[in-house]
């Protein structure tokens, strides 16, 4: 048996738009043989409070994380913050703003769906979120349960994905604001799944000039040529490298531990934080 250790530094729980609780994620990571994980929920860090003791009890290394929604020159981009203090006052203040606007967005999506003859129970959708933030997957699940779609991907493709009838844009930060907030909260900022940015090399380099500490190289959406190109950029600019499955738990996003991410990358991020 190989002694090589692997990690997953990008996953989501019920606190944002994942299917499984933080405790369940720990159980799954142990079964997958992972040595370390980071929970990077969208615009919320509260799940780490549950994740950390469950992981420590199993001898699984963990790192706090968050995935902040940003917009750069009219295009979506996400910023991963590793090692942030989950009790940092201004971070929590900004994340509350995200949470409040997410709920308002969810209500607007449900209202738009009603205009198209699709009636959903908003109270039932909010009940699904528990202690977490309302996300489109909660609405997708309600569409599935109501028989309006046959699977979760169809809900996004037909109703609530970008450019679809019931899509509503969400509140976003600028990349600069996200990087500054992550640094203020004691973390390091890495640009999430940046493969698409390679189509605009000049814009990508300008984005990296905003003070990011690294880039997420290993991601299910990155084919080998993209990984190679990103690794070359990271080496040239002396950037940290991360990777993970972007695991959500529903169909098409249930790939925890894939692609294989070496433990050494987790170690380098941890050392930089120290």
pLDDT in tens, 105-131: 999 999 999 999 999 999 998 887 776
Task: Specify the DSSP element, H or E, that contains 216.
Answer: strand 214-218
Residue 60 pLDDT: 98
Q: Is 2 exposed, middle or buried (0-12, 13-18, 19+ CB in 10 A)?
A: exposed
Q: What sign does the dihedral 210-216-217-219 (CA atoms) show?
A: negative
Whether residue 200 has pLDDT greater than 80: yes
Q: What does the mean pLDDT of the chain come to?
A: 93
DSSP annotation of 93 reads H
Residue 187 pLDDT: 98
Whether residue 210 has pLDDT greater than 50: yes
Per-domain residue ranges of the chain: 6-86+174-273, 95-160
For residue 2, name the pLDDT band (cuts at 50, 70, 90): low
Per-state percent for the chain, helix, strand, coil, to nearest 5: 45, 15, 40
Residue 251 pLDDT: 66
Residue 3 pLDDT: 73
Selection from 15, 13, 16 nearest residue 37 by Cα: 13
Residue 253 pLDDT: 76
For residue 1, name the pLDDT band (cuts at 50, 70, 90): very low
Structure tokens at 22: 């933080």
pLDDT (average), residues 178-193 = 98
Phi-psi region of 77 (alpha: psi -120 to 50; beta: other; left: phi over 0): beta
pLDDT (average), residues 152-168 = 92
Architecture per CATH, domain 6-86+174-273, reads as Alpha-Beta Barrel (3.20)
Q: Which residue has the higher pLDDT, 55 or 172?
A: 55
The verdict on whether omega for the bond into residue 229 sits within 30 degrees of 0, i.e. cis, is no
Are 118 and 143 in contact by the 8 Å Cβ rule? The answer is yes
CA distance 8 to 261: 7
CA distance 131 to 239: 35
Q: Is 59 exposed, middle or buried (0-12, 13-18, 19+ CB in 10 A)?
A: exposed
pLDDT (average), residues 150-174 = 91
pLDDT (average), residues 71-88 = 93
Beta-carbon contacts of 117 under 8 Å, excluding residues fewer than 6 positions away, are none
Are 155 and 236 in contact by the 8 Å Cβ rule? The answer is no
pLDDT (average), residues 121-148 = 86
Are 29 and 60 in contact by the 8 Å Cβ rule? The answer is yes
For residue 103, name the pLDDT band (cuts at 50, 70, 90): confident
Selection from 245, 240, 236 nearest residue 269 by Cα: 240
Residue 137 pLDDT: 82
pLDDT (average), residues 156-175 = 91
DSSP annotation of 196 reads G
Bridge partners (DSSP) of residue 215 are 191, 241
Q: Answer whether CATH 1.10.150 is correct for domain 95-160.
A: yes
């Amino acid at each position: 048996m190989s002694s090589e250790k692997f990690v997953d530094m990008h996953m989501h729980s019920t606190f944002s738009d994942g299917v499984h609780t933080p405790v369940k994620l720990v159980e799954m990571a142990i079964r997958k043989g992972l040595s370390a994980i980071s929970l990077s929920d969208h615009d919320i860090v509260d799940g780490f409070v549950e994740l950390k003791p469950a992981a420590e009890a199993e001898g699984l290394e963990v790192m706090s994380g968050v995935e902040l929604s940003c917009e750069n020159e009219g295009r979506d981009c996400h910023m991963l913050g590793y090692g942030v203090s989950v009790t940092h006052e201004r971070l929590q203040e900004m994340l509350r703003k995200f949470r409040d606007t997410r709920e308002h967005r969810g209500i607007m999506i449900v209202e738009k769906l009603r205009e198209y003859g699709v009636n959903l129970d908003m109270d039932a959708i909010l009940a699904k979120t528990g202690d977490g933030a309302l996300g489109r997957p909660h609405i997708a699940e309600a569409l599935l349960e109501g028989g309006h779609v046959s699977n979760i991907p169809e809900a996004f493709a037909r109703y609530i994905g970008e450019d679809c009838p019931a899509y509503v844009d969400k509140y976003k930060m600028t990349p600069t604001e996200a990087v500054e907030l992550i640094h203020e909260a004691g973390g390091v900022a890495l640009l999430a799944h940046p493969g698409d940015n390679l189509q605009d090399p000049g814009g990508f380099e300008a984005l990296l000039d905003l003070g990011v500490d690294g880039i997420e190289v290993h991601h299910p959406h990155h084919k080998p040529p993209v990984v190679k190109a990103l690794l070359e950029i990271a080496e040239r600019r002396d950037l940290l490298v991360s990777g993970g499955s972007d695991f959500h738990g529903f169909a098409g996003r249930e790939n925890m531990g894939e692609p294989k991410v070496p433990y050494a990358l987790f170690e380098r991020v941890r050392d930089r934080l120290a």
